[in-house]
Every structure is written in C-alpha cells, then in structure tokens.
Structure 1
C-alpha cells in the first residue's frame, strides 16, 4: 500500500509539473491584458490604442495619452529571395527588433502575413522589454493583381479572396489558425497570440485609379454598406462602400478575440481626396478615395487615415503651383510641407498618419523632387538627412505618426527605368543593382560579399588578405601600367592597378577600356591614334572629379537604344547606331518620360540624368573624403576602383548575361559573356595621346586575359547599419512619443 501511495504521489507530482510547464508555455505564448496594460470597454473588449479626434492615444499608467507613432516598415525578403519565399528566420527578426528598438522606433508595419516565427519572435522580444515594447501594424494584402486586371472590386471571387486574407491575418495575429501551404503566401501553424502588441490594422494596398473609377462607374447602383462596426456614409462612392465592408469584416473578426484596435486602409497621393490642378498626368488625379466617407460604429478603438507620401511622386510636387506657397524652417519653398498641410486640413476630427515616406541611398534615380529630394542618387548621409527632414515636417504638421520606408534593403525590387535592362528578370534577387533605386530604401544595408572586405582607399592590405582564388591578375596594361588585379562580388567589379608612378589627375587620365562581347569601338575620339583588334563596350576615365566617369559605346548604349531607337523620345543619329562608331556616350537613366495629351494636361519633355560618375574618395567611415558611394582612390602608385555591374553592360552578372548587340526585336535582349577584357592606359591631357602608343598603332586586345567567374545562385551578403541609421536615430530622439 505504501509503495502504491508513493507511486500515486510521484504521478501527481509529474502531472503538476507538466501542467505548470504547459501553463508557462501558454503564459509565454499568450500575453494577457494583465501583462499588457489595457482598458476594458463596456462590452468587455480590451483597448491598448484608440483614436480621439485627430490623435492616436495609448493607454499607459492607468490613463490615455496622446501618442506619436514612430514606425518602421519591414519587408519580407532577403538577398537571393523573393518576398513570397518568406526566408526570414526567427533569429533574424530578433536581431532586427533589437536594432529597431535601439533606433528609437516603437512600431513595425508589415504589409502582409509573415511566417509564424515573426509573431513568436515579437512576443519573445517584448517579454524581455515589457516596459517598453515594440508594437506592430498588421497589413492585409488585397487581391491587387485581380483588381487591376478585372477593374471591379465587387466581383465575388475578389470579395471572397480578400475576406479569406482578412480571416488569415486575424488568425495569424491572435495565434489560432493553421494556414495551408500556397505558393507566395505565408503558411504554418500560428499558436502565439501577438494581439496585445498590435497597434492597428492596415487594410489593403495602393489603389489603382483606373480600377477605382471603373468600379465606381459599373457599380453605381450598389447599396451603401452599413455593417456592425463600420458604415459607408451617404456621400461614399461604391468603392469606398466596398472598403467599409472590408474594414467592418476585419473589426468583426477581431472582436471575437476580445480586443479592439484602430483600423485604417492604405491610401496614397494618387487617390487622395484633394484636387491637384498642377498635376500633369490625368490618371494621377482622376479619382479619390476619401477616408471621411467611412465611419466607425460601435468600435471604441476608432479609425484613422493612412497615406504613402513621398516628396518626388507624383509630379504635382514639382508642378502644382498651389503647393508653392509654404516655406519650411530653412526658408525654402517646400511643396512636401504644403501638401502635408492641405491633406491634414481635409481630415477634420480624424487622425492622419504617413505610413510610407523616405528616399533611397542608390546610384540610380527614378524621379526628381524639389529641394533635391529625388528618388535616388543619394549617399547614405544624404538619405539620413532627407529622411530626418521629412520626419520633422510630418510631426510639425500635426500628423499622428510617421512610418519610414523601409528597414532592410531588398535586392529583388525593380523600378521602371532599369527593369527592362535586368535580364533574366527572375535572377534579379541574386545580385545588387546599384542603378535600381527601389533596392536601397533601407536603413539596414544588405552589402554584397566584398563590400565590407575591400575598402576603397587606395591601400592594398585588404587585397593582400584575399585568397588566391578570390582575385585574378590579368594582362592589359599599356606603358605606365605595371599590373592589374581584378575581383568581384554581387554588386561590383573591383580593379587594383599598379602604375609606374603616382597618378597625376591634373595632368593625365587613367583610362580603362572594357570588352565583354564581340563588337564595339575599335577606335575612339577619346583614344586618338589608338587602333584595337577588338571593340570596347565601355570606357572608364579617372581624372579630376568632373572628368571621372563611365561612358558606353554609342551603338551599345542601353538608354539611347530604348528611348531613342524604340520610343523616339531622344535623338539617335545614324552615326551613333553604327558599330565601331568611335563614339562613347555618358551613362544615363530616364527620370521622366515625354508627356503629352490626352494622357496629360500639357506637354512635358523627356528628362534624364547621368549615373556614370566615378566618385573619388573612400568607403572608410570617418575618414576624409568618405562617401558610401565612393568608387575610386589613388595612393602612391596604386589605384583602386569599383564599378557597378550594369555600368559595364551586365544585365545579370550571376549568369554572366550582358546586353546583346543584335536589335531586330523591339525589346532589348541579353546574351552570355565569356568574361571581361580590360585595357588600362595613361593619357596625357595636354596632347590627348596615349602613353607609349605610336600613331595608328594596332593594339591586340584579343591577346589579353579574360576575367571570368562561375555562375552563382545563392549570393553572399552581410548586414550593416547605414550611416543614415544614426542620423535618423537622432531625429527620432528629438520627437517626443507622448504629448
């Protein structure tokens, strides 16, 4: 009997321990209202955030406080991957949450459902920072492609798809759903309740104006939506009424979990409720989606307006004279500040938040904005300064929050003025195209494999540390050039040249001719007296600051072939189109296409910028001449240079694809290169002559070595806080979270 009682006691002990462990796990995974301070509504729902007139408020220390949301958008990809692959691991999220918390942001916005590890990591992080947690805004992705294609939001299949996505998002946040695998979507078992750390629901994506207008036209007879928690007002359009239904469905599903959070829908300047008489493009001001036409009913957490507002798009920021009447604190005419003021004035008694803004730290640019706030063309210091200025203006104009775009650089991104040059497009995520601005909005750089190994400074110690298989000595130096070494990573081709004497940029140029495939210039105006047995696609000149650039053979020029030959927006002479024309042209990108009626209200010319400048300096932070975009430096007899792949003609270096010469088809084509030949030479500025070359001497380029490399499918990269991180950190510190 005694042994039996002992066994029973041991059994009860193990059962008690098991229950304790289980409860501990449940307690860990499911934060309660006691752990996250909240207020109860009369119906028994918990509130942590709410809207009150034009404020977002947080319940803290037993009372409601006005709260300015300092947020950070976060994407779902890593180098070598696309968002639908959802490659981010729990340890990545935990590391990033720590850096974002250190930055001073306290809210993360995600655009769609992430893998279960996101919610697990957030709860785990916040348990360690329970006095000062990170909150998040859950985005709910709309059926964007179907909406754009079918242009009718009320179609049953679109409505069903969107409602299913809402159900999945609510289930993911509250940890009570298993989402089956589907290509391009998050999936798995969600068992961690992150709901108490939710700040708001952010429903939908940027709305296509033609889709909105078409929906309004063909669904004019639809009854106005009146739900349990959200109504469409009498003046609501059919599309706004449809949106009210989606917000109501989100609120209804959340209420079943005992919580309420503020709700918003995604909007942008293109479909804002303002009229822009100076906007040249008709479709950028053709239709409005007005948050004031929707109202919350029996939803104590409230409702607010959210906009993506960048300072360079649409073109109204440059051309609309009604926005040129406001000056910023520096005394400058500031159309961004003027727009923010007008938008805020429209939204009476409702909070407004800018949930996307910012500029990228890229070589390439895609649009021009006033005050130099362009979509690209900034180094990291400029990126930080502009982002900080925009943040301050958003706060000064009385907005409820500002969510910067974005946390991490994403290599897969494409943009309109480089995507036709990236071939094959399904390799875009495998390399880092410095000309594609969309890949460089992050405060966290995703540096290519050698960017943090080789410092551009004219020194050789870092090259000496490379393994023998990581660098190649190549032939190709003419008189005065003793040696050439080459290597590469996912972003750049690197050159290290040893000269007989130190380079004297005031008296001479260092020229590098690049050959990647048959064709090109065998002679050139820039190379008087020189004849080659093979042609050059690219010519690099290093001299004084304004002279240092990459130029491209005229008949190979990506830009002229697309916008001159194909679209007729640029002059492209017969001479320029000839092989071996002898002409090298500056490397340029389009930043605005030619605009004319009926698509526009008036005629606006084609605009372009040069992107081939080679900046002299160092990539060593804190050193004189530092710039994150430095390309070359010279010390003693050594010259060190890095050149972005696309400037050398590559459309995909991971498979050695370069732009092809044959051009019968309207679309540009690519072909595989056998590698890179380089010809390095010194040119006397006074005479233009190449050192050591007699008049009309034929140089055998074909006798030179080809630098080549194996294809790659899994890129190497390292994370690094950009210089813009610390600048933006100081800007966040200067703005109080509580008013």
Structure 2
C-alpha cells in the first residue's frame, strides 16, 4: 500500500473512531491541537475555503471567519546563484520566516517547488503555534515551451505541466523522492507541510500571443468537465486547458484527504477589461477569465489572482478612462481606479493581488503616474508607494495583497539594461543597481563592502578593510593629498583626501576614467589640456548637487548608439556642437507608431548618471539608499556603480566596446586590464586647473597605473531589512487592527 493510501485509510479510521466513540469535545480539550482544522462529513480536512467573494479561515474557535491575506513573495535563491541552483539552507529559511512574520504577513508565496529543506524548515518553524505562517504553493508552467510553441495543446506541454503538478502536491505532503534534474528541485520530501498550505497557485504570466493562437487554433475544442473543476459554456480553449490542470491539482490533493482553495496566475496583460488608452495591441489582445472555470465538487473553493503593478502596461499612464480618482497630492491614482474596475467584474469570487510593488533602485524602466515608477526610488519612497498600493488593494475589497518581493535578486534582468549585461550568464555574480528588477525586495542583499564603507564623508572606516583590499593612486595632483580605491560586487569606491577642506561653491572635483582604446578628450572640462596615449570613457564630476554626475563620452554613449541612427533610429544624429561628454541615460519608453501600435507614442529616456549626495548609513537622519557620494572637511568618498563606468560584467573584467551595434542591435565586450583614474581640481573663480600633468599641457595616460582586481567566481554579501520593510510592517499591522 502506498504512503498516500495509508494516510487516507488512517484518516477514515480516525473519523470512524470519533463518530462511534462520541465525546469528541472532551478529547479536543484534553488534546487540543495547535492547529484546529475543519473536517467535512466525508473526512476531508480544510483550513481555508472561499464563499462568494470572501476568503475564509477556520479559526481556533472552530468557526469560519473572513480574512484578508497579507503576504510576500519568496524567491528560491541568493546572490551568486540562479533559481535552478536552490542554494538556500535551513538557516536562511528559519531566519526569513521569523522576519516575515514580524513584518505582519500571514502567508508567503513560492513560485515553484523548493528543495525539501524549505518544507521541513516551515514545519519546524510552525510547530506548536496557534497562528502559524502559511504558504501558497505555486506550480511553475512549462513557460519556455509555451512561448516557443505558441500552442498550449502542443505535444508534451500538458504532460510536463501535469508532472510538475504531481511533484508539487507530493512535495507539499512529504511524499516524494525526486531524482536530480539540472535546474529543478529534487531530493527526499518527508516533511508534511499540508496543514500550513493556504492555497494552490497554478502557472505563470501567460503570453498573450500564445493564448490567442491557442484559442484560434482549437476553436472547436470541447468543454472540459472533470471531477472537481470544469470550464463553463463560455470558456475558451485555453481556459478549458487551465480547467483540466486545476482539476488535476484537485485530484492529486484529494488523495491526501485535504482540500485547499485553487487559483491560477493572471496579469493585467490578459485581464478581463478593455483598455482603449493602451498603445500596444498585445497588451489588450486577449483575456483569460477566471469566471469561465468553475469548481464542481471542491469544498476548498476557487479564487482569481492577478499581478498588478502601477506602471505596466503603459495604459496606467496613458489611458484617460482610468484618470477618475485623485490622491491627496492631486495626482490621478490610476492604480486605484484600475482595481475598482477589475473588482467590479468579480461579484461572486474572491480576488487577490498576488504581485505588486515598486523597487528601490537607481535604475528605472517604466514611468507610472504620481511617481509610481518602476525604479528610481530610495527605500523610504519604495515603502511609501508600497503602503499606498497595499491600502488601495485593501480598501477596494480584495481578498489579499501579496507583495513582490521578499529578497533582492541579483540574477534578474530588465529590458533597458539587458543589452549591456554581457555575458548574460554572469548576472548573478554582480549587483547592477541600474537594473531595477534586482531590487524589489524589502530585504536588501547588499554587495560585500556596503556594510563596511558607509558613504558619510569620513574615510575612517576604510582602515577596517583587510590588507590588500585598498589600493593607493600613484599619481600626483596639487591640492590632492591622496586618493585610494577599492571595489565590491556593486561599486567602485573612491576615497580622496584634499589639502584643504572641500567647498563645492569654490572648487569642482573631476575624475576621468579610461578602460579601453577609444573615447573622447575632455575638451570642455580640461580646456587647453590634452591626453596622449588614450582617451576617456567617462568623467565623474563632484561639486554642487545639481552638477554631480557621471557623464559618458559622446562616442561611447550607449543610449545614442542603441537608439540613434546606428541602432533603432529613435534618436536623431548628435549635433556637431554636442559636448565631448553627455549625460548618462537609460531608455524608458520606445517610439511607437501605427500600424504597429494603436497610436503614436514618443521615445522617452531618463538621466541615470546623477550622483546623489547623502548618507548610506541607515541609522542616519540623512539616510538615502541611493547615496553615491558625500564629503566632510578635507575628505570626499564616492561609490560608482560598475555599469556607469561601462562594465558589462566586472567579475570577468568585461567592458562594452566601441563596435557598432549592427543589425542585431547588440553590444559587444572586450576584456579590460583595469581602470585608469585621472583626477583634477578646477577653481571656479579663476578657472585654474590642477591635474596629474602638472604644468604640462599634455599627459601620457599610459604612464598612469590602472586600478586592477582579481576576477571572481563567488560573491560576498550581507542582508539588511530595508526602510520599506518597516513601512510594510506598519501597514500590515494597521490592517490587522482594522480587521479586529
């Protein structure tokens, strides 16, 4: 007899004993379980179910009560690894569970089956608790095959999905021994975490073209009717495909004597609404409607789940039909307006927002109204926006809000920096703070020296670094006593001591960088001076707050090369009078025009090279997580993101080269020996310049010793709860108070 059948038999025997013996109440009070669960007439156990548009929990008092789900999405990795490597251990999980619960969350959502240690750690953490931390188990779809085949019914896809379902259910109930497969979880699953499961969450965000093609190709596909779930008369072929998969989850779980609420992943791109103000056809092409699937004999119930962000798709900014509600600042809150419209479609079904949030990052990739952009926020701003979104979700009557994301994820990519991160398979070995997708977490995963070198203007903490970690600049500049450099996985750090106290109103500090052949002479920055044997890729300017920035050589400018005449030609050719060094920009929105889109949409970009002055010390009143420099007296310290210096991958010394992007619209890299730093001081009143060339009008760059480092295959990092963590903690606690 299999393990699952033995469990089922034991459940029926227990139910029979209770029915025959009676006196269940006395037994309950003598042996009160930490977790009280509901037992249906057929012996099926439940802790959660849906009723109408409500999500219910069976309480310790033995009654069903409506609850608001407050949660956070949890990834399966940490810096230096990709998700399929599953590097997390018991210590990681137990620490995070405690922090998540202290944040006020009652559930964590995982996207796929984790290693056995996740389930055993959760069982250990919850043991003996009346109010445990629950989890929602995601089941990953064959996403790559679906996109490649553009056909959900293509041979092998449904079979693979069903196999993943069987694996997930068996893993949750501690009844699996899964052999190793590259990129997938495996091992012996012996910890039964079923009592801590809140719901099943099937699939990933659906590609709209795949859904549309599936519906057209199989328009005569019959309605699916299973034992537990069925497609309605209005169900499309793709929705019937989903109904069959939900039914398979139910069939697998029934064997363990439990029923939990079911849902499938959906997102704004395939929602049930019409968006006349959306420029891209594919973002309003097809709907996947949870109302077209119904539970037949599933007491656990069923709900809709959506990923909803305030900046994507573009209609959150461009659709005037959503500009109906204003916030306290007089800005249109299109997020709240969207939530109202979406919720009004689901009058008899709970709806949860199972992904939402903004990142705390220097980089930005989409604009949203009211400053709710995808990136460009410090931790305080991230917290304020996430709290606002949470409040909107709660106020509009949704069943739950599950924040994206618990931890920062170094391996992530986003569209506007992806062409520059080369080689792509080394993304997890460094933290590119220009890629906002990496920094959604409320738990910061900081690079190796971030907690050692505080940007506060004092160089005292540099002395704590290990011998050999810091290198002294070997040149000489009048007015500069010394300059030293170090680095970690996110930044190049520069510490400068001047002869006199720094006054940005009187003096400007510039630092040129040279990493490879090519570049520009800093003609405007160093009039009358010339560099021999090389040119500069970037110039770092430190002075007044509004001028402090990293500027890029006009011949090296990635934005112009990719989107100008050499690339997609969304930008015009640079005018003849363009300065030698220009602002460092990232594209935010691409030029679109009919017939490819519904209406014309302009190209938009954002200056990303601005250097924010503040403090990187979380304990300081001046704390700003985007701080890149500060000064105090004679000392100046900076931390410069690697990509602003042209690096595609610092861990393997790869810098973007000057070759044309070509028809492939692709950059290439070369290996650099290091970075040559060329500092100079400019007196504002007289224009006098002191530089490494002294009184000479030229400087041979080849005589300057470059800053070098060893390549790395492993990373150093530290964890820190962001300011946004504490903002969400208060928001979740406020909801708890309102629920009482």
Q: Same fold (TM over 0.5)?
A: yes
Q: In the aligned structure 1, how far is the partner of 2:661 from the partner of 2:557?
A: 15
Is contact 2:82-2:411 (8 Å) kept? yes
Deviations 1:108-166 (A, max 9, x none): 000000000000000000005x1221000000001111111111111231110010010
1:353 aligns with 2:366: no
1:631 aligns with 2:636: no
SS class of match (1:736): helix
Determine the structure 2 residue equivalent to 1:730: 730
TM-score by length of 1: 0.93
Cα distance change, pair 614–671 in 1 and its aligned pair in 2 (3 A): same
Cα distance change, pair 477–418 in 1 and its aligned pair in 2 (3 A): farther
Cα distance change, pair 465–582 in 1 and its aligned pair in 2 (3 A): same
Determine the structure 2 residue equivalent to 1:11: none
1:647 aligns with 2:644: yes
Determine the structure 2 residue equivalent to 1:298: 297
Q: In the aligned structure 2, how far is the partner of 1:687 from the partner of 1:204?
A: 66
Cα distance change, pair 468–582 in 1 and its aligned pair in 2 (3 A): farther
Q: In the aligned structure 1, how far is the partner of 2:476 from the partner of 2:66?
A: 67
1:76-475 equivalence runs, <5 A: 76-128=76-128, 130-328=129-327, 331-475=330-474
Determine the structure 2 residue equivalent to 1:598: 595
Give the one of 663, 687, 694 matched to 2:660. 663
C-alpha deviation, 1:53, in angstroms: 1.1
1:568 aligns with 2:565: no
Determine the structure 1 residue equivalent to 2:23: none
Is contact 1:528-1:690 (8 Å) kept? no
C-alpha deviation, 1:664, in angstroms: 6.7
* Structure 2 spans left out of the alignment, 5+ residues: 1-30
Is contact 2:522-2:581 (8 Å) kept? no
Determine the structure 1 residue equivalent to 2:496: 497
Dislocated runs of 4+, deviation >4 Å: 32-35, 692-696
Q: In the aligned structure 2, how far is the partner of 1:387 from the partner of 1:582?
A: 40
Q: In the aligned structure 2, how far is the partner of 1:305 from the partner of 1:35?
A: 30
Deviations 1:366-393 (A, max 9, x none): 1000110100010111111111110011
Determine the structure 2 residue equivalent to 1:63: 63
Give the one of 582, 586, 602 matched to 1:585. 582
Determine the structure 2 residue equivalent to 1:16: none
Q: In the aligned structure 1, how far is the partner of 2:84 from the partner of 2:579?
A: 46
Determine the structure 1 residue equivalent to 2:28: none
Cα distance change, pair 511–284 in 1 and its aligned pair in 2 (3 A): same
Q: In the aligned structure 2, how far is the partner of 1:671 from the partner of 1:586?
A: 23
Determine the structure 2 residue equivalent to 1:72: 72
Determine the structure 1 residue equivalent to 2:27: none
C-alpha deviation, 1:330, in angstroms: 5.2
SS class of match (2:569): coil
Is contact 1:328-1:337 (8 Å) kept? no
Determine the structure 2 residue equivalent to 1:680: 679
C-alpha deviation, 1:700, in angstroms: 2.6
Is contact 1:516-1:673 (8 Å) kept? yes
SS class of match (2:239): helix
Cα distance change, pair 117–68 in 1 and its aligned pair in 2 (3 A): same
Is contact 1:529-1:695 (8 Å) kept? no
Q: In the aligned structure 1, how far is the partner of 2:465 from the partner of 2:34?
A: 52
Determine the structure 2 residue equivalent to 1:23: none
Q: In the aligned structure 2, how far is the partner of 1:190 from the partner of 1:483?
A: 58
Determine the structure 2 residue equivalent to 1:24: none
Q: In the aligned structure 1, how far is the partner of 2:416 from the partner of 2:183?
A: 26
SS class of match (1:113): coil
C-alpha deviation, 1:701, in angstroms: 2.5
C-alpha deviation, 1:216, in angstroms: 0.2
Q: In the aligned structure 1, how far is the partner of 2:554 from the partner of 2:678?
A: 19
SS class of match (1:383): helix
* Worse-superposed segment, 696-705 or 55-64: 696-705
C-alpha deviation, 1:76, in angstroms: 0.9
C-alpha deviation, 1:641, in angstroms: 0.6
Deviations 1:541-581 (A, max 9, x none): 111111000000011111111111211111233859xxxx9
Is contact 1:529-1:696 (8 Å) kept? no
Cα distance change, pair 520–341 in 1 and its aligned pair in 2 (3 A): same
Q: In the aligned structure 2, how far is the partner of 1:394 from the partner of 1:481?
A: 55
Q: In the aligned structure 1, how far is the partner of 2:132 from the partner of 2:364?
A: 36
C-alpha deviation, 1:623, in angstroms: 2.3
Q: In the aligned structure 1, how far is the partner of 2:662 from the partner of 2:80?
A: 30
Cα distance change, pair 663–696 in 1 and its aligned pair in 2 (3 A): farther
Is contact 1:522-1:582 (8 Å) kept? no
Q: In the aligned structure 2, how far is the partner of 1:475 from the partner of 1:582?
A: 30
- State the superposition RMSD in angstroms: 1.6
Q: In the aligned structure 1, how far is the partner of 2:502 from the partner of 2:270?
A: 55
Corresponding pairs, count: 703
* Worse-superposed segment, 458-467 or 229-238: 458-467
Q: In the aligned structure 1, how far is the partner of 2:211 from the partner of 2:68?
A: 31
Determine the structure 1 residue equivalent to 2:704: 704
Give the one of 604, 629, 637 matched to 1:607. 604
SS class of match (2:434): coil
C-alpha deviation, 1:503, in angstroms: 1.4
C-alpha deviation, 1:523, in angstroms: 3.7
1:455-534 equivalence runs, <5 A: 455-533=454-532, 534=534
* Structure 1 spans left out of the alignment, 5+ residues: 1-31
